[in-house]
Structure 1
């Protein structure tokens, strides 16, 4: 059975450069035969967190929240494509993830970071690692870090120059690490129900 992977992206800016990395990740995972769905926080457009999904009585959550909860619960793994805002995380993506908790549990997550500068969003990736772990995901050790994004990927996510070549070389390990943990988590869930 094909693994279902959700790729999350969170920039709300009008000139979004990180979408290039999201496109790259989606296309490369699809080439590996995975069932990949792109989740754009801006398109989902959840309101600022008032109530988490679990705080609604069954059948009363807003439609967008209910639909996304079902996608998260049915996924085998997640990839978070994260930008860095002033050494921190993007508020749009953080707001989206905070609407859920148990829905994330017992599945692996991988982080692909980017920035316009040479540090490639690694400070944001570091912050996301702790956040995703706290939300019950197994965060894989392999990451992708892309920067400057405009010199690494073209408008359609195509690798550019030496930086693009380095990204192409790094991607297989990133995807293999996520695949290993996806299989491990699926196997364990089939053998034994999660403890909570």
Structure 2
């Protein structure tokens, strides 16, 4: 059973480091081999603040950006959200993107690669897990946490993981595969 993982870079802020961290995780996930992996950058979708005239449960998408975002999310069996922590919470770009859709998220699994200062983004992930559970996404406890992320960036702003990051990434990917298989089978039987 082929499984697809979308590695979603959640920050759209100019000068962000999330894309560098996302590129590292994308390459790591491809080497892991459990998934067909796609790096998805929220900035590429240019989603304005929720601009749809119809509730997302109706799937009456009128805008090209909504249709493209829906297709991207629908295509995945699992997600890894590469997320910063903004003011003790999730980035608004992720919350906005989540609210664009309903059905496309259902019965899929999510992992997290979080980064920030001393917290490593843990507070953002805790809030994101609560929100995602309401979309019927299974958020895993396994995650990659990157505290004091500037210490792991080289002069060209490339992320340089340490052993803990790689060990955590493997553990999370192993669990993502297990859950993605089970939930894909469940969706097929629904």
Q: What's the TM-score once normalised by structure 2's chain length?
A: 0.89
The DSSP-based 3-state class of the residue aligned with 1:109 is strand
**CA deviation profile, 1:171-193 (whole Å, cap 9, x unmatched):** 11111111110111122333x21
Is contact 1:53–1:69 with CA below 8 Å preserved after alignment? no
Distance 1:130 1:168, change over 3 A: same
Show the counterpart of 2:121: 121
Gaps of 5+ in 1: none
The DSSP-based 3-state class of the residue aligned with 2:13 is coil
Structure-to-structure mapping, 1:81-96, within 5 angstroms? 81-96=82-97
Is contact 2:84–2:114 with CA below 8 Å preserved after alignment? yes
Separation of aligned partners in 1, 2:63 and 2:57: 12
State the shift of 1:69 in Å.
0.8
Separation of aligned partners in 1, 2:58 and 2:50: 11
Show the counterpart of 2:135: 135
Alignment of 1:41 onto 2:39 = no
State the shift of 1:95 in Å.
0.8
Gaps of 5+ in 2: none
Show the counterpart of 1:111: 112
Show the counterpart of 1:173: 171
State the shift of 1:2 in Å.
2.7
Separation of aligned partners in 2, 1:92 and 1:135: 17
Separation of aligned partners in 2, 1:165 and 1:149: 14
Is contact 1:53–1:66 with CA below 8 Å preserved after alignment? no
The DSSP-based 3-state class of the residue aligned with 2:107 is coil
Separation of aligned partners in 2, 1:75 and 1:12: 21
Compute the RMSD of aligned alpha carbons.
Answer: 1.7
Show the counterpart of 1:157: 159
Distance 1:74 1:13, change over 3 A: closer
Alignment of 1:21 onto 2:40 = no
Separation of aligned partners in 1, 2:13 and 2:65: 21
